[in-house]
Amino acid sequence: MIYNKIIEGIFVKRPNRFIAQVLIHGKEETVHVKNTGRCKELLVPGVKVILEDCSHNVNRKTRYSLISVWKGDLLVNMDSQVPNTVVFEALKANKIKGLENLSYLKREVTFGKSRYDIYFESGTNRGFIEVKGVTLENEGIAMFPDAPTERGTKHVLEMIEAVQEGYIGILFFLIQMKGPTGFRLNWEMDPDFSEAVNLAKEKGVQVIAYDSIVIENNIQIGDPIEIESTFEKY
């Protein structure tokens, strides 16, 4: 996933979940935040951020979108719209183990009352992939979610129904950074979602975690990440 035009800035504050104030060339600008999660550990006043220049879109209220942030020496992509694209591109390029040479791929396909990010076919097998972007990291461990997600819980539970009807169900956590050595569920933040994933695993839903290669203007699939006791409470 390549961003065509980017610029650096300094984060000032976030008045609400949709916008932030950022210093660009010494001038404070209102920018769009492409992530409605809390991201409190990332968006700290004074940190360097990367923005996409969207001035080509005359219908926008803001010129820039905040897409990445430096957390020390770690560049974290926090654009919640890109994980689906990154995983879809990786599938087409046969970069995900166990999901190579798929015969059919389609994005945004509905099953029951949920719309899943990716539908795939491989021979006689059919399946759904739900992609979750992960931006929360603590002491080398990535975690999801960083805020309660009722919608996410609903999607996970309906994927159990898909598996029971003969589909392959995959819950894919894309860690939007390079650096964490493991992944686990954030039981403290959202026990309902964590319990749902626990149940889904027991019912045959596959759980996968990959990190990402992130630079200022690009994010691509990285390597598989160990899931550390994901299904245990902490």
What is the domain-level CATH number for residue 184? 3.40.1350.60
Q: pLDDT at residue 57 above 90?
A: no
Tokens at residue 194, please?
Answer: 């964590």
CA distance 50 to 33: 11
Is the model's pTM score more than 0.95?
A: no
**By mean pLDDT, which of 24-33, 53-62, 162-171, 200-209 is the weakest?**
53-62
Question: Looking at residue 213, what is its pLDDT?
Answer: 97
Domain end among 77, 96, 125: 77
Grade residue 92 by pLDDT with cuts at 50, 70 and 90.
very high
Co-location of 96 and 123 in the same domain: yes
CATH number at residue 35: 2.40.50.580
* Domain membership flag for residue 233: no
Question: Looking at residue 125, what is its pLDDT?
Answer: 94
Grade residue 201 by pLDDT with cuts at 50, 70 and 90.
very high
Grade residue 113 by pLDDT with cuts at 50, 70 and 90.
confident
What value does the mean pLDDT of the chain take? 92
Question: Looking at residue 137, what is its pLDDT?
Answer: 93
Domains in the chain: how many in total?
2
Co-location of 209 and 98 in the same domain: yes
Question: Looking at residue 59, what is its pLDDT?
Answer: 76
Q: What three-state secondary structure class fits 140? A: coil
Question: Looking at residue 127, what is its pLDDT?
Answer: 96
Grade residue 161 by pLDDT with cuts at 50, 70 and 90.
very high
Share of the chain above pLDDT 90, in %: 83
Co-location of 126 and 208 in the same domain: yes
* Domain membership flag for residue 1: no
Co-location of 110 and 36 in the same domain: no
> Do the Cβ atoms of 199 and 163 come closer than 8 Å?
no
* Domain membership flag for residue 71: yes
- The residue segments making up the domain with residue 95 are 83-227
